Amino acid sequence: MNDYRCVAETVKLGKDVKLSQFVNLYGCEIGDDTKIGAFVEVQKNAKVGARCKISSHTFVCEGVTIEDNVFVGHNVAFINDSYPRSTTAEGELQTEEDWKVETTLVKRGASIGSGSTILPNVTIGENALVGAGSVVTKDVPANTIVAGNPARILRTSESRPGGK
């Protein structure tokens, strides 16, 4: 029976990871007790911490680090190239040698709303909340709520709903 999951041998899965059908994981690390939804891709050299929830249709590209206890809503896209091109100046199809991966860090306890786009070279701080549909173009401070395109600070919150 085919369960429609593509998990490469190069993936480091923690204990009690829950994978939905139709996931594509390769060369990445997934921490203990994390749940990965359907139609999620996590690329090589990406890291997802423990006790995270990555909702369906999300793309986590190379260069993204997601720390522990992070929620990522449905259809979130991480970007790792500020100036993407398909070809070199000579007109040849680009290869990995033709570009440099740009990184993104999502710190412990952050939440990213559905439909958000996270541009490269940003840090989303601890317990920060990114509103649904936001485009994050610069760092988000810890304990801050941002929303919009581009995402702007709405307010700060010293304590997370739900306690911890």
Centre a 10 Å sphere on the Cβ of residue 98 and count the other Cβ atoms it contains.
12
**Could you give the C-alpha distances from 65 to 70, 72, 95, 120, 123, in angstroms and in order?**
11, 12, 23, 11, 10
Please say if 74 is a catalytic residue. Answer: no
Give Rg (Cα) of the chain: 16
Residue from 47, 57, 108, 160 carrying the catalytic annotation:
57
The alpha carbon of 29 is separated from its chain's Cα centroid by a whole number of angstroms, namely: 12
Instruction: Classify each residue of 2-11 as buried b or exposed e, where b means 16 or more C-beta atoms within 10 Å of its C-beta.
Output: eeeeebeeeb
Helix (H) or strand (E) holding 35: strand 35-36
Residues with active-site annotation: 57
